Amino acid sequence: MTAGHKITIEQGTERVRVVRDGQVVADSARPLVLRETGCPVRYYLPGEDVTQELLTPSETTTYCPFKGTASYWSLPDAADTVWSYPDPKPDVAAIKGHFCFYEVEVVG
């Protein structure tokens, strides 16, 4: 990590849901909570807790010098709203196999 930049990952205790057009896309009681300097808190949900058949792979990728290369998926009428790091950097290896969504509902 560079000076002043920090990423922490912890096991969340909240229940996190993703609902799109009335359909539950993800529902997890075991999210990883990722906090990164200058970024909003993000919830990474285990792949088993995501209805992956609702996701369409995208050709979009982005690169983060701290996390690695992200792959994206789209939901109907919502392009590139889901991402994951298939081969994350060692400092954030815990997020491998997890999906992150731009909009989540933290149920408690």
| CA nearest to 8, candidates 43, 40, 33 | 33
pLDDT class of 108 with cuts at 50, 70, 90: low
pLDDT per residue as tens digits for the range 14-64:
999 999 888 999 999 999 999 999 999 999 999 999 999 999 999 999 999
Q: What is the residue-averaged pLDDT of the chain? A: 94
Cα 39 to chain center, whole Å? 13
The per-residue pLDDT for range 76-94, each reduced to its tens digit, is: 889 999 999 999 999 999 9
- Which has the closest alpha carbon to 102: 78, 86, 82? 82
Tell me the sheet residues that pair with 37.
Answer: none
**What domains are defined for the chain?**
7-106 (2.170.150.40)
